[in-house]
């Protein structure tokens, strides 16, 4: 338990992705089975202890501590699990005897609701504060330590020196505590053979088309299709099991019962999930977000935001694995296959014909539909290769949107950037023309060079008007301030931001030292993009 | 005599009318008794100062020899009279030379503890329990959430991280007086014998600790040789917390930000400060020690000052002890 508790503590406070990976790999190396497998399940939110509820924790505390003192403590810390872990009356007395994560999990898993208080008390009595924190975080089920399933799989890949694709491919056939997986990764056993049906196939990804990449390519070797702005999905159906996976292999079937009803085939297809109707309207990414990450979806939402898949590839048809065929061959299969499916839920992504790169360049810059974000360019003779090989598939996006915004707040970065003000909140003008004020529209922390970072940092330090912890408020009025040209991929409506808009993927495109702040953009410019 | 006749707050600080002196005044006064050398307790500009020799030395290092017009060294436990009242200095265990000040007059004894701690600290004198009628306690960590773990385990955590990330510089933020020397001393006691690099602001105080018999081992200035950025990879650098947010910190290889402080107990505090490796090492009492001290000192009345007074006052109420917050202004626990 101690090693797991320390891992959690370190992960919470380590911002760097690579360092998080290193912490996890080191843990997997040092911890025994089944502890490490249970830790893995906990990290990705796959452990559930239904007998323990927050009300039980509060009840345990009220038996042990003056409620006024507990109230002061909770107000100060702000997190129930952490507060209890710190104030639990045994202090660190219990630290002497080491609890195994496996024992803790087994006891909590087996306990009945009526005994849960007794068992939890016993566990907490025999732990030190950081172990108590780990136990309480486990039972309340919300680790919030910045580790995604994807990152955990990457750590496993690093640990076993295997491609992450192989782990993703196996993933849904494996279960905690993953002893077979660890044995294979350590080289002491063969690769596990998953028994489960409808497994995820690792996806093939594209690389961005660089400015001059296409000059070396022959247009007739490549197909082009529109790149629609939805989310990449893989629909898998075999032997009566039906699943839809995200690009990273998360099972998202549960959020889309309307679509899953139409999955009546046997095969694996790859496409873009969109809101709307294949024959009619394709709705925006904001509309799609109404459907994402929901555990249950009301009939009203299903009717208002119907989803469909615009299919662009087929990996398996019946029993036949098509991944070894060329793209042109797979597309023939795909056309025949999709023609038998519900046309309200599936259609085939159409090709864009072109004779020259210059012609395609024009088309990707001026797509015919607002929900198209460029073109995909794929070699006719490419086989379906998991990962991101350079050459067979390119994404060629339309140019990003840009807006001139004024730097308003700067926050210190982390790690290498902890002495730099490197995270910037910027705003545009709003309000009446004669008394405009800045309203924040986004935040960005990359897109500039190290040299530019130094310059911005100096500007921030020289123009600070207020400080709140790690954040500085920077002079920004009609005559002074720093203008950023901010690039972004799209705008969503937002009720969380005062400005009413939220940018997708904002980054600093250029520093406009030359531009007077009064000439930065107004909020109406952004609002008109929303309505488009 | 009532307690408030012997000591009571004034804008300048805690005042003793029968002895006509202030304890840790925040503004210059004619006669000041100083508990310890932290800048919020020991300020320059007083006319006459009484403190332990080490506190006087530390004030001279920080403010120059002219920090007061005259100064007098108090010996541990030796009574000094001011008018009708007598004062004695007793170790507080907070930093080198730190003292509690017992003030006695007409059969009433009040102990002003300044800042204090009960834990073992290899870099200063151990706290002494002084029985009294009224005990003035600090409340820096006066909430039940503050339960400082064993500092040896915290130092071990730092050393584990150093071996896990040998390509990175471990930057330990620690206040210049007391904490920095304690962290260094604890590292030495844990067997770490490589040179420790220090920020320039720590140099004089570390040198002073060494002259007082606290062996800090080999300390080197964390200055940069031209173009040799990897010099500090795998090294431990100790500096003031503010220095790590400063341009100074850019010389280090992919630093791990560590911070030695009792505040590090609460994860969100650590996260807000961008601390990657919190080290819960405090030179104040934790909650349990504050409570134990209140129980053990045997005072019938407790005055609670600078910190989270309300929880400690509540604790006293539950123990049916008279208690009140003592509203002193100007103490910002520089020490944490």
Rounded mean pLDDT, B15-21:
96
Within-domain flag for B133: yes
Model confidence at A372: pLDDT above 50: yes
Helix (H, G, I), strand (E, B) or coil at A460: helix
Lowest mean pLDDT segment, chosen from A197-201, B12-16, B59-63, B284-288: A197-201
Condensed to tens digits (0 to 9), the pLDDT of residues A417-438 reads 777 899 999 999 999 988 999 9
For residue A479, the domain's CATH number is: 2.40.50.140
Model confidence at A95: pLDDT above 60: no
Condensed to tens digits (0 to 9), the pLDDT of residues B215-225 reads 999 999 987 65
Distance CA A376, CA A382 (A): 14
Within-domain flag for A148: no
Distance CA A238, CA A268 (A): 8
What does the longest C-alpha to C-alpha distance in chain B come to? 68
Model confidence at A142: pLDDT above 80: no
Both A57 and A38 in a single domain?
yes
Among the partner residues B143, B149, B268, nearest to A73 by beta-carbon distance: B143
How many domains are there within chain B?
2
Structural domain of A133: 2-140
DSSP letter string over A152-215?
HHHHHHHHHT--HHHHHHHHTT--TT-HHHHHHHTTSSPPP----SS---PPB--EE--TTGGG
Asked whether the beta carbons of residue A129 and residue B149 sit closer than 8 angstroms, the reply is yes
Q: What is the pLDDT of residue B225?
A: 59
Q: What is the pLDDT of residue A420?
A: 85
Condensed to tens digits (0 to 9), the pLDDT of residues A239-263 reads 889 999 998 888 899 999 999 999 9
For residue B248, the domain's CATH number is: 3.40.50
Within-domain flag for B336: no
Among the partner residues B144, B149, B274, nearest to A69 by beta-carbon distance: B144
Both A508 and A455 in a single domain?
yes
Q: What is the pLDDT of residue B333?
A: 47
Both B321 and B217 in a single domain?
no
Asked whether the beta carbons of residue A79 and residue B268 sit closer than 8 angstroms, the reply is yes
Q: What is the pLDDT of residue A99?
A: 86
Which residues in chain A touch residue B273, judged by CB atoms under 8 angstroms apart? 469-470
Within-domain flag for A479: yes
Asked whether the beta carbons of residue A412 and residue B248 sit closer than 8 angstroms, the reply is no
Residues with Cβ within 8 Å of B325's Cβ and at least 6 positions away in sequence, in order, are: B303, B304, B305, B309, B310, B313
Structural domain of B65: 3-145+284-325
Mean pLDDT, all residues of chain B: 91
Which residues in chain A touch residue B145, judged by CB atoms under 8 angstroms apart? 73, 76-77, 83, 86-87
Model confidence at A484, in pLDDT bands (50, 70, 90)? very high
If you count them, how many residues does chain B have?
336
Within-domain flag for B335: no
Rounded mean pLDDT, B116-139:
95
Which range, A145-149, A318-322, A488-492, is most confident? A318-322
For residue A314, the domain's CATH number is: 3.30.470.30
Among the partner residues A13, A66, A91, nearest to B318 by beta-carbon distance: A66
Condensed to tens digits (0 to 9), the pLDDT of residues A270-307 reads 999 999 999 888 888 878 888 988 878 899 999 999 99
How many domains are there within chain A?
3
Both B85 and B205 in a single domain?
no
Within-domain flag for A283: yes
Helix (H, G, I), strand (E, B) or coil at B70: strand
Both A376 and A446 in a single domain?
no
Taking 3-state DSSP, the helix, strand and coil percentages for chain A, each rounded to the nearest 5, stand at 40, 25, 40
For residue B15, the domain's CATH number is: 3.60.15.10
Among the partner residues B145, B315, B318, nearest to A73 by beta-carbon distance: B145
For a pLDDT cut of 90, what percent of chain B falls above it? 79
Last residue of a domain, one of A338, A373, A397: A397
Q: What is the pLDDT of residue A408?
A: 97
Condensed to tens digits (0 to 9), the pLDDT of residues B246-259 reads 777 777 878 888 99
Within-domain flag for B28: yes
The answer to whether A223 and A377 have CB atoms below 8 angstroms apart is yes
Q: What is the pLDDT of residue A156?
A: 96
Distance CA A41, CA A177 (A): 7
Q: What is the pLDDT of residue A507?
A: 95
Last residue of a domain, one of A343, A371, A397: A397
Both A283 and A340 in a single domain?
yes
Which residues in chain A touch residue B245, judged by CB atoms under 8 angstroms apart? 412, 418-419
Distance CA B44, CA B300 (A): 35
Distance CA A11, CA A32 (A): 20
Model confidence at A320: pLDDT above 90: yes
Distance CA B249, CA B171 (A): 9
Both A413 and A389 in a single domain?
no
The answer to whether A86 and A134 have CB atoms below 8 angstroms apart is no
Asked whether the beta carbons of residue B144 and residue A15 sit closer than 8 angstroms, the reply is no
Closest chain B residue to A19, measured at CA: B165
Q: What is the pLDDT of residue A417?
A: 75
Both B273 and B312 in a single domain?
no
Asked whether the beta carbons of residue A91 and residue B288 sit closer than 8 angstroms, the reply is yes
Both B215 and B68 in a single domain?
no
Within-domain flag for A176: no
Both B184 and B292 in a single domain?
no
Q: Which helix (H) or strand (E) holds A85?
A: helix A80-87
Both B101 and B193 in a single domain?
no
Within-domain flag for A319: yes
Q: What is the pLDDT of residue A47?
A: 84
Model confidence at B226, in pLDDT bands (50, 70, 90)? low
Within-domain flag for B41: yes
Both A392 and A306 in a single domain?
yes
Both A288 and A372 in a single domain?
yes
Among the partner residues B144, B275, B288, nearest to A13 by beta-carbon distance: B275
Model confidence at B335, in pLDDT bands (50, 70, 90)? very low
DSSP letter string over A354-380?
-SSHHHHHHHHHS-SSTTEEEEEEEET
First CA to last CA distance, chain A: 54
- Is residue B19 classed exposed, middle or buried when 0-12, 13-18 and 19+ CB atoms within 10 A define those classes? buried
Condensed to tens digits (0 to 9), the pLDDT of residues B47-68 reads 999 999 999 999 999 999 999 9
Both B7 and B141 in a single domain?
yes
Q: Which residues of B touch A (CB under 8 A)?
A: 143-147, 149-150, 157, 164-165, 244-250, 254-255, 257, 265-268, 270-278, 288, 308, 310-311, 314-315, 318
Both A496 and A379 in a single domain?
no
Instruction: Using DSSP bridges, classify how beta strands B108-112 and A501-504 pair: parallel, antiparallel or unpaired.
Output: unpaired
For a pLDDT cut of 70, what percent of chain A falls above it? 98
Lowest mean pLDDT segment, chosen from A169-178, A217-226, A399-408, B15-24: A169-178
Among the partner residues A86, A418, A470, nearest to B145 by beta-carbon distance: A86
Q: Which residues of A touch B (CB under 8 A)?
A: 6, 9-10, 12-15, 19, 22, 26, 65-66, 68-70, 72-73, 76-79, 82-83, 86-87, 91-92, 128-129, 412-416, 418-420, 469-470
Model confidence at A105: pLDDT above 60: yes
Rounded mean pLDDT, A329-354:
96
Both B41 and B112 in a single domain?
yes
Q: What are phi and psi for residue A359, nearest 5 degrees?
A: -65, -45
The answer to whether B267 and B248 have CB atoms below 8 angstroms apart is no
Within-domain flag for A197: no
Which residues in chain B touch residue A87, judged by CB atoms under 8 angstroms apart? 144-145, 147
First CA to last CA distance, chain B: 36
Closest chain A residue to B269, measured at CA: A77
Within-domain flag for B333: no
Asked whether the beta carbons of residue A69 and residue B272 sit closer than 8 angstroms, the reply is no
Within-domain flag for A526: yes
Distance CA B297, CA B110 (A): 11
Both B288 and B156 in a single domain?
no
Q: In angstroms, what separates the C-alpha of A324 from chain B's closest C-alpha?
A: 43
- Chosen from A144, A418, A460, A468 to mutate, greatest number of chain B CBs within 10 A: A418
Asked whether the beta carbons of residue A72 and residue B268 sit closer than 8 angstroms, the reply is no
Q: In angstroms, what separates the C-alpha of B310 from chain A's closest C-alpha?
A: 9
């Amino acid at each position: 338990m101690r090693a797991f508790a320390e891992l959690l503590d370190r992960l919470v406070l380590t911002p760097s992705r690579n360092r998080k990976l290193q912490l996890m790999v080191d843990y997997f190396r040092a911890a025994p089975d089944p502890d490490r497998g249970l830790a893995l399940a906990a990290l990705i939110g796959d452990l559930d202890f239904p007998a323990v509820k927050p009300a039980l924790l509060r009840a345990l505390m009220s038996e042990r501590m003056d409620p006024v003192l507990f109230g002061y403590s909770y107000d100060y810390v702000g997190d129930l699990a952490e507060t209890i872990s710190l104030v639990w009356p045994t202090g660190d007395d219990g630290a002497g005897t080491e609890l195994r994560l496996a024992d803790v999990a087994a006891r909590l898993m087996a306990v009945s609701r009526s005994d849960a208080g007794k068992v939890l008390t016993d566990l907490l009595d025999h732990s030190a504060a950081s172990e108590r924190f780990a136990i309480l975080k486990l039972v309340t089920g919300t680790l919030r330590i910045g580790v995604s399933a994807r990152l955990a799989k990457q750590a496993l890949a690093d640990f076993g020196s295997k491609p992450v694709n192989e782990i993703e491919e196996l993933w849904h056939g494996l279960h905690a505590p993953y002893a077979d997986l660890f044995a294979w990764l350590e080289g002491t056993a063969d690769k596990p053979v998953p028994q489960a049906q409808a497994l995820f196939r690792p996806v093939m990804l594209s690389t961005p088309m660089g400015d001059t990449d296409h000059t070396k390519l022959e247009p007739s070797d490549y197909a082009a299709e529109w790149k629609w702005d939805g989310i990449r999905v893989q629909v898998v159906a075999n032997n009566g099991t039906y699943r839809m996976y995200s690009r990273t292999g998360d099972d998202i079937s549960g959020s889309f019962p309307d679509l899953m009803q139409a999955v009546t085939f046997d095969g694996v297809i790859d496409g873009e999930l969109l809101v709307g109707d294949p024959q009619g309207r394709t709705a925006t990414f904001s509309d799609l977000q109404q459907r994402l990450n929901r555990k249950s979806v009301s009939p009203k939402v299903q009717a208002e935001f119907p989803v469909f898949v615009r299919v662009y590839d087929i990996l398996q048809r019946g029993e036949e694995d098509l991944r070894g065929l060329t793209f042109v061959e797979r597309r023939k299969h795909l056309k025949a296959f999709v023609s038998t499916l519900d046309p309200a839920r599936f259609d085939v992504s159409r090709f864009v014909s072109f004779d020259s790169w210059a012609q395609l360049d024009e088309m990707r810059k001026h797509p015919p539909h607002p929900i198209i974000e460029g073109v995909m360019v794929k070699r006719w003779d490419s086989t379906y290769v998991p990962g991101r090989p350079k050459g067979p598939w390119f994404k060629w996006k339309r140019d990003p949107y840009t807006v001139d915004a004024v730097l308003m707040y700067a926050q210190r970065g982390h790690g290498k950037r902890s002495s730099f003000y490197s995270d910037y909140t910027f705003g545009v003008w709003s309000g009446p023309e004669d008394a405009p004020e800045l309203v924040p529209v986004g935040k960005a922390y990359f897109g500039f060079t190290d040299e530019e970072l130094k310059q911005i940092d100096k500007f921030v330090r020289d123009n600070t008007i207020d400080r709140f912890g790690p954040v500085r408020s920077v002079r920004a009025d009609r005559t002074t301030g720093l203008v950023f040209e901010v690039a972004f991929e799209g705008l969503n409506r937002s009720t969380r931001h005062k400005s009413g808009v939220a940018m997708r993927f904002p980054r600093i495109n250029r520093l406009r030292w030359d531009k007077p702040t009064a000439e930065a953009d107004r909020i109406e410019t952004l609002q008109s993009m929303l309505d488009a | 005599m009532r307690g408030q006749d012997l000591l009571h707050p004034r804008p300048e600080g805690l005042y003793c009318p029968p002895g006509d002196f202030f304890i840790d005044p925040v503004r210059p006064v004619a006669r000041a008794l100083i508990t310890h050398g932290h800048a919020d307790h020991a300020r320059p500009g007083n006319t006459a100062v009484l403190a332990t020799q080490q506190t006087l030395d530390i004030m001279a290092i920080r403010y120059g020899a002219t920090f007061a017009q005259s100064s007098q060294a108090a010996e541990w436990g030796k009574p000094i009279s001011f008018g009708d009242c007598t004062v004695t200095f007793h170790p507080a265990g907070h930093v080198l030379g730190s003292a509690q000040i017992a003030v006695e007059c007409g059969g009433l004894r009040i102990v002003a503890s300044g800042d204090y701690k009960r834990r073992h600290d290899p870099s200063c004198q151990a706290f002494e329990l002084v029985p009294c009628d009224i005990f003035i306690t600090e409340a820096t960590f006066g909430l039940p959430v503050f339960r400082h773990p064993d500092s040896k385990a915290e130092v071990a955590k730092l050393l584990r991280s150093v071996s896990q990330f040998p390509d990175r510089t471990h930057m330990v933020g620690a206040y210049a007086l007391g904490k920095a020397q304690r962290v260094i001393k604890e590292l030495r006691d844990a067997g770490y014998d490589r040179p420790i690099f220090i920020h320039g602001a720590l140099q004089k105080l570390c040198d002073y600790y060494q002259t007082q018999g606290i062996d800090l081992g080999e300390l080197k200035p964390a200055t940069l040789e031209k173009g040799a950025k990897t010099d500090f990879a795998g090294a431990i650098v100790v500096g003031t917390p503010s220095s790590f947010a400063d341009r100074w910190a850019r010389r280090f290889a992919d630093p791990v930000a560590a911070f030695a402080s009792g505040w590090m107990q609460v994860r969100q505090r650590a996260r807000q400060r961008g601390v990657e490796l919190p080290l819960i090492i405090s030179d104040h009492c934790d909650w349990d020690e504050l409570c134990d001290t209140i129980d053990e000192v045997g005072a019938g009345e407790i005055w609670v000052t600078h910190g989270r007074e309300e929880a400690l006052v509540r604790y006293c109420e539950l123990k049916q002890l008279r208690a009140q917050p003592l509203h002193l202004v100007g103490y910002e626990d520089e020490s944490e």
